[in-house]
Amino acid sequence: MKIALAQINYHIGNFKSNIEKITNAIKKAKSHGVDLVIFAELAISGYPPRDFLEFNDFIEKCNAAINKIAKDCEDIAVIIGSPTFNSAIEGKPLHNSAFFISDGKIQYEHHKSLLPNYDIFDEYRYFEPGKKFEIISLKGKKIALTICEDLWNIGNDPLYTINPMDEIFKHDPNIIVNIAASPFNYKQAEIRKSILIKNVEKYKLPLFYINHVGAQTELLFDGGSMVINKKGEIIEELKYFEEDFIVVDTKKLNINPDKEIKTQPTKIELINNALVMGVRNYFQKLGFKKAILGLSGGIDSAVTLAIAAEALGSKNVRAVLLPSAFSSDHSVNDAKKLAENLACEYEIISIEESYKSFTKTLLPQFKNLPFGLAEENIQARVRGVILMALSNKFGYILLNTSNKSEAAVGYGTLYGDMNGGLSVLGDVYKTEVFELAKYINRNAEIIPENTITKPPSAELRPDQKDSDSLPDYDILDEILYQYIERRKGPKEIIAQGFDKQIVKKTLKLVNTNEYKRYQTPPILRVSPKAFGMGRRIPIVAKYLSR
């Protein structure tokens, strides 16, 4: 039997586009003499559809799309994911389902059993778990059809009380098919492979795995669909961060052809590729072409500009230099050099007169109080006003350039440098931003070396450096990683050798600045624990905030 995997970049709620891509893949599969073509979890709707699932009209459109696709399934079978109505009175109103279609008709409807409800996942909000564990038959093969999480309850620390594959295995299947929507983080590909191979080793069955690819706002899907033979060998692996299509003959599953061993990408390469895809898809799916950002001469805006230029094309990214009296000449020169290296349009708009106008207006209220945080934030907000004005006037999306370290400790100005339609680096720690800059410069100096080597500074007061207010980033980022990603408490972090006062101050800053993060633009998720939908912290709380 010939089986095809169709790895597609879906668009949530764009039924016309999704149907077209699916039917084109079916036609391609037919031309290759394929018996079965497999598409991803919730392919029809896109993933995650979130509260669109609360609209009956949305589910009815999904059903109509499935029926339309079924008409193209003469002489070929299809497995595809879609939300469906729950016909039972009891339970949630929907199922997360996989359809098996052949002979132009829906032959079987399988419902996902294990519904993740942690981190970025919220499936139990909408779906009722499936409770039937059956197989489907095609061309003499018995297929164990599973949906994403249904294969993940394996190992010594199970999250659920049931393992769907154990139940299906009782029906003596020949092949496992897993349709998935597994979002990217820089660790996920290796974790995913390990989980899938554990299933193959346990059940001694070949496995066909299909994933989403593409960005859905902050969630990034890296693809990496694969076929694993019953020996646990990955005999086919689809591209990462790109659409792809392969055909595999089940007769040749145990023949592992001599292939060039793929070089495993580094963490920073993965993050770079994910961010480029994330920016590109965000603009494509919203129907925008051009971006704008404030270019300070610092490393964060430099890396953001380089990523945006790769994602959108240099001609579609406009850099605005917004110097004040505290901006150094080398920062302006570094910014200009970067824009020229990338062939991006840039211009210089001084904020000095606007800043003086605000301080003059506020003079009666400020009186003779000394220069301080208020004046620093006025500068950042003047820049934000100018950038948003240009965004409104010319239809740009403003890219936010704040990094995860700054966002974590509140080192940014609301309605100023925290403005934007998309946060590119909001899940990238400052130390990782430096690594990204070096990666971008791997073949030639694109980001000026001075931008990388000079001490980071907001340049909002004379001789200001980030280290005046924050611990060195090497220390700060490790403390933040232990607290945010690993959920370690202060005692555990201090026991690792970190200074007690620095730990307490850092965690207090993180928790007391949740109100700022609540108002930031969507953050492209590249880590196992990003700010946003996957981290839900109360604002008016007292934990570690004293």
Provide the annotated active-site residues: 41, 112, 148
Q: Which residue has the tokens 């589910």?
A: 59
Which of these, 41, 40, 93, 44, lies nearest to 66 by C-alpha position?
44
Element (H, E) at 179: strand 175-179
Distance CA 422, CA 426 (A): 9
Which of these, 300, 339, 272, 345, lies nearest to 451 by C-alpha position?
300
Residues in the chain: 546
Q: Which residue has the tokens 């033979």?
A: 229
CB 42 within 8 A of CB 181: yes
CB 291 within 8 A of CB 399: yes
Distance CA 221, CA 277 (A): 9
Which of these, 231, 316, 253, 329, lies nearest to 279 by C-alpha position?
316
Q: How many CB atoms lie within 10 A of CB 127?
A: 23
Cβ-Cβ contacts under 8 Å for 110 (sequence gap 6 or more): 97, 98, 99, 100, 130, 132, 134, 136, 145, 147
Alpha carbons within 13 angstroms on the beta-carbon side of residue 387 total 32
Q: How many CB atoms lie within 10 A of CB 180?
A: 25
- Bridge partners of residue 245, in order along the sequence: 6
Distance CA 174, CA 169 (A): 9
The pairing of beta strand 317-321 with beta strand 345-348: parallel
Distance CA 546, CA 538 (A): 15
> ∠ CA(440), CA(468), CA(299), 5° rounding?
15
DSSP state of 44: T
Kindly state the greatest CA–CA separation across the chain. 87
Cβ-Cβ contacts under 8 Å for 407 (sequence gap 6 or more): 423, 426, 516, 517, 520, 523, 531
Distance CA 201, CA 426 (A): 38
CB 175 within 8 A of CB 145: no
CA 437 to chain centre: 20
What are residue 264's phi and psi, to 5 degrees? Answer: -70, 125
Which of these, 38, 65, 447, lies nearest to 272 by C-alpha position?
447
